[in-house]
Structures are given as structure tokens and as C-alpha cells.
Structure 1
Amino acid sequence: MKQLIMMVYMVLLGTAAFAQQEKKYIHKGNELYKQGKYTEAEASYRSSVEKAKSSVAGNFNLGDALYKQKKFDNAAQKFTEIAGSSENKQVKAQAYHNLGNSLLEAKKLEESIAAYKKSLLNNPKDDQTRYNLAYAQEKLKQQQQQNKNDKNKDKNKDKKDQQNKDQQDKDKKNQDNKDQKDKDKQDQDKKDQDKKDQQNGQQPQPNQLSKEDAERMLEALKNEEKNTQDKLKNKKAKGVKGRIVKDW
């Protein structure tokens, strides 16, 4: 319905302007527009505007051709220019109506609502504009509700993430405490065992000899070996007693 409303305004103005000014470019643009050739129609309307920059019909229909090509920002600019430059309330009402349509398609809901309200100020009896205004207001209400839901969703997600983080920190702290308790218990058990061994007259056995102990043991072994060799030499020097048999 929004596009149909805009199209009706364009055709009526275009026809009236053609009858009054007999602009061949506007007539050609209207014919192309009816055929759905909006790009060619735009070019023809631009040519009419070059011939008469203040042409309401040429500018109005140019804005409509831009709208049909989904060039909503360009169309909005053109309808804004028309509404601001015209003193005719009917023209201003139609320009603001089409401006509202362009802004609505561009998802600029608050701006489109403002445009529809300006259109109604210039033509309070336009039910089509009133319908479009109500439609835009409902879309804005839905958008605001969706934004609120998204915000609450993000807020709940942040809250849940924080709860998960707090739980993870708590679990880590508990695990660290448990690990520390286990370590303390192992240390205490070792101390208790060492104390028990000392009470039983047992000394912890070193894992390896020191360098000084090793040298002393080696020296002792050398001395013991020397004593053994001396004993053997003394025994050999004395000889062995035996009976000598004389050979007669």
C-alpha cells in the first residue's frame, strides 16, 4: 500500500504538470515509468529538471523514480527539497507523505513518523497518510520491544557468564586449598616418620657418599691391602720346614 500511495501521487502530479507545461521529458518519463523502466524514467525526469529546475512535477516524479529503484536516501533528499521549497499545502503534504515512505523503507522509523505527521499537518484528511503513520508507529514499537528484549537477553547472558566465572574461581580456590592441604599432610607425615625413625635409633640413609667419605674409605682399603701384602712377604721369608733326604 505504501508504494501504491506514492505512485498515485506521482501520476496525478505528472499528468497535471504535463497538461500545463507540456514538458516532453516529463511525458517521456511517465511513459517509461509505466513500463517499469525506472532507470530510463529517472534520466528523462532529470532532463526535465535541467530545463526547469523549479518544476514540481519533474522533481516529484524524479523522487518517485529513485524510490522505485530502492534509492531511498536519494529519494528522501529529493522529497525533502520539494517540501521545503513549495508553498502549496497539497504539494507539501504529498512530498512529506512520500518522504515518510522513503524513510520507512530505509528503516528510519522515527524520522518517517515525523514526516507523516508533517504531511497530516498540511492535509489532516488524508487517511492513507494516517494509515502509514500508524503502521510506522507500530513498527517502531516492535523495534523498541525487540531492542529491550535483546538488551535483557544480553544482560542475562552477562549475568550468567559472571556466575559461571564466579563458580570457576570458587572451584579453583577449593582445588588450590585441597592441593595445599594434601601437600601439608605429606610434609607432616614425612616429619612424623623422620621423628619416629630417630626415636627407634635409625638414621636416615644418605642417597650417596660424600667425596670426603669416599676418600677415607679408599684410603682404608689401601692400608688394609698393604697390611695383607706385608704379612704375605713375612711368611715367605721364613720358609717351610721339611726333611732333607740324602742321596747316598
Structure 2
Amino acid sequence: MTVTNAEAHQIAREKGVSGPLYYVVKYAAALVFRILCGFTATGKEKVPKKGPVVIVPNHKSFWDPFFVAIVLRRPVHFMGKAEHFDGPMAQFFLRMGAFPVQRGGSDEEALETARAILRRGDALAIFPEGTRVREEGLGAPKRGAARLAIEAGAPLVPTTITGTEKRRWPLPRKVRMVFGDPVPVEGLEATPEDAALAIGQAWPQVEQEYAKWQARPGVIVASAAAIGLGALVVSKRRKRIND
């Protein structure tokens, strides 16, 4: 059964996740992911167990929301591309905590749904980079997540996800998640300046943790090998030219 955009937002605002279905799918997925992906998660205790909270992870892969959802005990809501809600899976996605957002501009319907979720006292995860960052490193965070958090009086929880960008079909391998120290928003106003201040306190934790992962010995060795291989190729090409 398909739903219209308006119906999707109404369901997300008034009902949220389907408790029994959500937990059945979540724990089944967690079992499969733990066996096949070998993921670890630290700092889960830093995520408030109740009340509104905005989780702000980096975004490298389609799989990122799944790992955030299965790691935390409380249900987590996400924005998803509106195209995912055009077909028969729309109802399922909605009951799993996702709701549609139109890409390419400010979607007021999606923002109002996000506010409704936070007013209920639920958890909302928003990727501040705005889209998947496929190249190496992280993207610059936008202020929207922080502004929603300030409006709702919800702390921002920086979250680092590593490993999802490198996959062995069909799932990522050796995924690691680290939840950072929550950033309180008390005393801030929902202005661009205060939103920038809040995300500016949260995002460096993600950057630092991601940099640690990038600097681990295995990555350094692989990078050095790649550089060495590239130098060898260049050297052989020059030799051919000179010959």
C-alpha cells in the first residue's frame, strides 16, 4: 500500500515507530550484523535513555542509519529520501522510524515532522553533512540539526561511524561506532549563530575520532603501500618514455 507525502508525515508525527515490529526487525538485524559485520560500539551510555535527543553522525554509507538504530535500545527516527516512500515499502519504512525528506532545499514538512518527533520526547538522528560523503574524510556540517535541537531543548550527541565506507558484498566489515559527549543547548536560541556554536562544539568530536581511525596502523600501512605502488607505476612509465 502506497502513501502520499502528506500521509507519510502524518503517520510519522502521530504514530512513530511500531513497537513490536521495530524491535523484532531490530534484534534480528543486530544478530545478523554482529555475525557478518563484526561491529563494535562504545559510549552508548552517553545517549540519554529518555527525553528528546538529536544524534549527529557522520555519513559514509547507506548502512549508517541501520547501525545507529540497532546499537541503541531506544527507537531512533531518521529522515530518508522521499523516493524511498513512493513504493509499497513506504509503510514499512515509516514503522521503522523513517520519514520522507525532499532533497535539494529546505523541506518544511520534514522539518515539522522532526519537531513533532522531538516534542514527543523521542530520539532523532540527522546527518549534519547533508548527504553521503563518498570521498576520503568528512564533509562540513550544516546547522539544521543543531537548530532543531535548540528548539526542542534536546542535547546533541556526536557519533562517529567508521568502516561502512569499505564493503565486502553485501555488507560492510569491521564497523566501529563511538558516541561522544552530549552537547547541551540550554541558554541557546534557535538562531544561525547559536546553531553554528552548538554544532561547532559537537562536530570536532566526530572529526577527532574519525582522524584516530584513519591514523590506525593498518590504514597507514595500506596508504604507504598505495603510495609506493603509485610511485612504481610512474617510474616505469617514465622509463618507457626515456627508452
TM-score (norm 1): 0.30
Structure with greater strand share of residues: 2
Higher relative contact order (CA 8 A, sep 6+): 2
- Whichever of the two has the greater Rg, that structure is 1
